[in-house]
Amino acid sequence: MTTRIAILISGRGSNMVALADAIENGKLPNTEIAIVISDQPDAKGLAAAQERSLKTLVVERRGRKREEHDREIVSVLREERIDLVCLAGYMRVLSPFLVDAFKKRILNIHPSLLPLYPGLDAQRQALEHDAKVSGCTVHFVDNTLDGGPIIAQRTVAVGEDDTVETLSARILEQEHILYPEAVALVLKHGFDE
């Protein structure tokens, strides 16, 4: 059986590309990206997905409340028979409706060593705290902000001269390694029903 993955993006989509590359390179056997969904029509990642011949769909917010927007996303996920949802730079907090519809089947990547520095600007938060080490985390999504069970992490040393840009770039390199590793772990373990 092939595991059908949906990737939700809002922007650049480099983690989406890393997952697509891992599948192409045989690092995630029996897995396919069934659809890439963006809430932003101008997300750069949409073009990157199309270049790779991945199916894309824009589900715009259109001023709707979170749950109403998510109901449309859930119906697409069901139509596509999605097994696993990977958030990759998706900038809208999910409603409990979506989280509960795909319980323990939604992953997120965050640019810090959670539970440190949840929310926005995680790299800036690390610098403001004079952290010597930061990194990235893939975790299950629950109804807390960046608070669900941690699946895997990679660390990055923070240098004295680091800026938000330099630190973000080094963390991003690790994110691209981590996300496929974390998906592999989840698939190896199987889904709890």
Q: Quick one: how far is CA 92 from the chain centroid?
A: 12
Report the C-alpha gap between 105 and 86 in whole angstroms. Answer: 8
Q: Does 89 bind ligand GRF (CB under 6 A)?
A: yes
Between 44-51 and 14-24, two packed helices, what is the crossing angle to 10 degrees? 20
Interface with ligand GRF includes 11 (CB under 6 A)?
yes
**Where in 138-167 is the site for ligand GRF (CB under 6 A)?**
none
Active-site annotation holds for 189: no
Residue 48 near residue 17, CB atoms below 8 Å: yes
Between residues 39 and 175, which has the closer beta carbon with respect to ligand GRF?
A: 175
Q: What is the CA radius of gyration of the chain?
A: 16
The residue from 110, 129, 139, 189 that is catalytic is 110
Q: Is the peptide bond before 149 cis (omega within 30 degrees of 0)?
A: no
Candidates 5-13, 33-41, 67-75, 77-85 — which segment interacts with ligand GRF by CB under 6 A? 5-13
d(CA 109, CA 176): 10
Q: Could you give the CA distance from residue 75 to residue 91 in angstroms, rounded to a whole number? A: 20
Q: Closest separation between CB of residue 1 and ligand GRF, Å?
A: 27
* The only residue of 110, 117, 139, 158 in contact with ligand GRF, by rule CB under 6 A: 110
CA distance 76 to 57: 9
Residues 39-68 that bind ligand GRF (CB under 6 A): 45
Cis peptide before 96 (omega within 30 of 0): no
Nearest-CB residue to ligand GRF? 89
Can you tell me which of 39, 70, 162, 175 binds ligand GRF, judged by CB under 6 A?
175
From 6, 88, 114, 138, residue interacting with ligand GRF (rule: CB under 6 A): 88
In the complex, least distance from residue 188 CB atom to ligand GRF, rounded to whole angstroms: 22
In the complex, which residues of this chain contact ligand GRF (CB under 6 A)?
9, 11-15, 45, 88-89, 109-111, 172, 175
By annotation, the residues acting in catalysis are 110
